Amino acid sequence: MKKQLLLPLFVALLVALPACKKNDEPKADLLGFWNVMERTRITTTTGASPVTSKTTYSEGQFTLDFKANGDLVVNGNATDPEPWKRISETRIEIDGLEYDIRQLTASQLVLFSTQPVSGSVREETFVCER
């Protein structure tokens, strides 16, 4: 009787295990060197239309290098790094300003922030590539 119960259980296990596919895609890492390819800034002032500016950069023109020790080297200026830290999986803080991580893959990073600036609100989006 026990053999009759074990055989169907063993077959079911053999069928179920291949269905549990392991996620082979490595988790993207924020650390390292990024080229900022585009920055979009939208400034909204009460009673006025939003003002949008978009700047595109060539590779190497505007760079971010996130170090494991909490330093962010901007444009290769290692003598004056900015402090950064990971707040959560989807938020970081750079020099006291918080940014949402909108996208993070092995080759692309999109950061977004909303900050009050002199009676206005500024939204900035940075699109970065490796």
Q: What is the tens place of the pLDDT at every residue in 7-62?
A: 454 444 444 545 555 444 445 799 999 999 999 999 999 889 999 999 999 999 99
Largest alpha-carbon pair distance within the chain? 81
| Rounded Cα gap, residues 61 and 41, in angstroms | 18
Please give the helix or strand (H or E) that residue 104 lies within, else none. Answer: strand 97-104
Residues 108-128 have a mean pLDDT of: 95
Question: DSSP state, 80?
Answer: S
Q: What is the tens place of the pLDDT at every residue in 75-105?
A: 988 889 999 999 999 999 999 999 999 999 9
Q: Tell me what pLDDT residue 76 has.
A: 84
Q: Examine the pLDDT at 1 and tell me if it is beyond 80.
A: no
Mean pLDDT, the chain, as a whole number?
85
- What is the gyration radius of the CA atoms in the chain, in angstroms? 23
Where does the pLDDT of residue 2 fall: very low under 50, low under 70, confident under 90, or very high at 90 and above? low
Residues 59-67 have a mean pLDDT of: 96
